[in-house]
Amino acid sequence: MKNKKPFNIKKYFYLALIIFFVVLVASNFTKLPTNMGFVKKDNNQSNAEQEVVVPDITINMAVIGDIMCHGPNYQDAYDSSSGSYDFSHFFTQIKSYISDADIAIGNLETTFAGGNKAYSGYPTFNSPPELAQAVKDMGVDVLTTSNNHSMDTGYNGLINTIEKLDELGFAHTGTFKSQEDKDSILIKDVNGVKIAFLSYTYGTNGIPVPKGKEYCINLIDKDLIKEHLQKAKELDPDLICVSMHWGVEYRTKQNNEQENLADFLFENGADIILGSHPHVLEPMEKRTITLEDGTTKEGFLIYSLGNFCSAQKDKYTKDSIILNLQITKHADGKVTLDSYNYTPIYMQDNGAGAKDRYQIIDLNKSIKEYENGNSDISKNWYNTYVTELKNITDIMGEETNKTSNIEGDYKVSFFFINQS
């Protein structure tokens, strides 16, 4: 039998001491973030979770007018060496105003019929698909597609246009491939602000909508619009934005029908109304609307944004704006339109045969550059810019930065239905 080793009290003492220090360090390590200030202590809630504070969300919306493409436009974009089209030089000066916005909206007033169908301008528009790509590259997110030229290349052209927009990743509304699409509401979540988009037109230039395919386009009909607005409200968006192709061409002031329709739209839930079709600018305004329950809300309306891109030459048809809306969704759920302003622009035509014949001009910037000695701008063009800027401010007002206070207690969800 082996002799037992004597009990070593020192060994066990040191082992117990080591275990004690390990436990002490571990317990303090779990509190290290708080002790070092990485996690804020809540003196009122020792064990409860910290209250989460929801911040206000502010977004900037840019809106442009009619995106058209007349014969001289696509001829200018044609590159004979490659047999392709490049519209990018049209938009160089003003691209940043659109790409820098959180969401940008435009009205597409042409078709992309595809196939072997020849390109054409007025009166039946069919454009190179490279135009759609250039608009996408410029930063436009949403296109409204219901207008009097939606049926220019027939039902198949309308469908092909939708498919081209889908291919390029546009959200769109106004024209549809099915009744199911038409019954859906287009919703766009912009950094946490949900916007519903709807789009309608007065007609299709007499081109009949095929029997049995009435779903393919939204025509202005109060019953239909009211139905869509109700569906949008049921989706609980933060804002409802309605685009209306209405009014009288080449008139710089709205008519009674536009005013009455605007009243109807606001009373039934619209918050923002964007007008098109006259091909010239018409006024914008902020309104206070009294609802059926006696409460009030404010809305924003522009009767016409004019032509963004075209080859029209009549007075005022080259003048337009990039509309800018600043919108805030507050922590309490209220939504306010904090300000609205615009950038005056002008569709410059350098003449047949000129390299890069068409170019959209930032009027304020170009006027300032000339006055600061930029010799690339001629005296004649400077005088034109000054005249066109005055035309714009005469219609839209002298101020280009206005504050507002549009707010509502309800949340609006925008459901985008892809249309073209």
* Ramachandran angles phi, psi of 259, nearest 5°: -65, -40
- Least Cα distance to 201 among 267, 277, 265 occurs for 277
Ranges of each domain in the chain: 57-408
| pLDDT(417) > 70 | no
Return the SS3 of 167.
helix
Over the stretch 65-93, which tens digit does the pLDDT of each residue have?
999 999 999 999 999 999 999 999 999 99
When pLDDT is averaged across residues 88-116 and rounded to a whole number, the result is 97
Q: Indicate the pLDDT class of residue 2, thresholds 50, 70 and 90.
A: very low
Provide the 8-state DSSP code for 52. P
| pLDDT(230) > 70 | yes
| pLDDT(371) > 90 | yes
* Angular region, 149: left φ>0, alpha ψ -120 to 50, beta rest: alpha
Provide the 8-state DSSP code for 126. B
Contact 161, 111 (CB under 8 A): yes
Q: Indicate the pLDDT class of residue 16, thresholds 50, 70 and 90.
A: low
Q: Indicate the pLDDT class of residue 292, thresholds 50, 70 and 90.
A: confident
- Residue 296 to residue 260: CA distance in whole angstroms: 18
| Mean pLDDT across the chain | 88
Return the SS3 of 139.
coil
The stretches of 315-414 forming alpha helices (DSSP H) are 363-371, 379-396
At 297 the pLDDT is: 82
The superfamily (CATH) of domain 57-408 is Metallo-dependent phosphatases (3.60.21.10)
| pLDDT(225) > 60 | yes
| pLDDT(246) > 50 | yes
When pLDDT is averaged across residues 244-273 and rounded to a whole number, the result is 97
Q: Which of 140-144, 162-166, 283-287 has the lowest mean pLDDT?
A: 283-287
At 32 the pLDDT is: 46
What token pair was written down for 126?
Answer: 């069919």
Contacts of 73 (CB under 8 A, 6+ apart): 87, 90, 121, 309, 310, 311, 358
Over the stretch 50-68, which tens digit does the pLDDT of each residue have?
667 789 999 999 999 999 9
Q: Which residue has the higher pLDDT, 412 or 314?
A: 314
At 52 the pLDDT is: 72
